[in-house]
Amino acid sequence: MEISQDEVYVIEEDHVCSQLFLSAINTQKNLIVLMRDHVPILFNKAFLDFANVSSAKGFLREFGSLLNRFVPHDSYFHAGKVDNPEDWTASLLALPKNDRIISMLSYRIEPHAFSVSVESPVSNYTIVTFTDISQDLIKRIMIENDVSIDKESGAFDKEYFNHTSKSFLEAAIFNKKLIGITMIELMSSDDDAEHYLHDFCFSIKSNIRQSDMLVRWGKKVFLLAYLIDSSDNALKFSRKLLTVMREEPFQTLSNISMRVGSSVQNENDDIYSIISRAHKALQQTNDSCITVL
């Protein structure tokens, strides 16, 4: 479809109404697009950053229709499922709400999944909102495929954690908390470790919050991820855990030595930097002791 200059600038970017609208939508982390007669005329900052463009005009010049950005995969809504490409929102709204999901690649070629909502508060104008559900979708797919839990221990699988760890960073930011990582190693032979594995994991899971994640990181090494206020609390938490997990009904765990290493998120840390320090702390620790880095 040919796009005229008038259509692109129906709302001037320096117009007071445009500025007020942009100010409102720029506070949102969701990707938001304002369209007139099916043509994008304004994008919020989150969308411009995602596509690495500076304006609606730049987006249209580089990509054309918004529909062109949707990944043509059978699991998602895309151009191949649309009868009238100019009015693709009508085809989307004809779907059940749970099926209104599209996939787009960021400018870094990273795939994301979005649920899509469409509102038409004024004739000829449409507001389309893309909510990133990539992490939720990964969790759902992996749970449905029964790969989220390590069968031997009952802890989360390492691959599942690697795929969903971004959720922890987002939760920390939202709750204004720090991420704590505690790594625990069973200091025993492989056979002994297997014997105590179930009680070990069940005792930890009985003493942590539902939002905390216990992950089997290696044959005898486990990772515990949680949100805290300070590094002091990470040490207190690890000490308490090492004590209560040996109490009734898990006194048998007193027969096995363990070592613990912990680390807490620093500013701008990604989760694997925290894990790396926790693993280093673990290697510097003697049996039944805790080191924090």
Residues 207-266 have pLDDT tens digits of: 888 888 999 999 889 999 999 888 788 888 888 887 877 776 777 777 778 888 889 998
The three-state secondary structure class of 108 is coil
**Cβ count within 10 A of residue 73:** 13
Q: Is the model's pLDDT at 291 over the cut of 60?
A: no
Most confident of 29-33, 57-61, 133-137: 29-33
Do the beta carbons of residue 198 and residue 151 sit within 8 Å?
Answer: no
Q: What pLDDT was estimated at residue 290?
A: 58
pLDDT at 71 > cutoff 50: yes
Report d(CA 36, CA 20) in Å as an integer.
17
pLDDT at 44 over 90: yes
Q: Are 58 and 39 in contact (CB under 8 A)?
A: no
What pLDDT, in 10s, does the model give residues 137-176?
767 766 665 678 888 888 999 988 888 888 888 788 877 8
Rounded distance between C-alpha atoms, residue 150 and residue 142, angstroms = 12
Strands 257-264 and 221-228: unpaired
Taking Cα atoms as reference points, which of 285, 223, 234, 228 lies closest to residue 260?
285
Which residue in this structure is represented by tokens 């690890």? 238
- Mean per-residue pLDDT of the chain: 83
Per-residue pLDDT, averaged over 177-197, amounts to 82
CA distance 274 to 277: 5
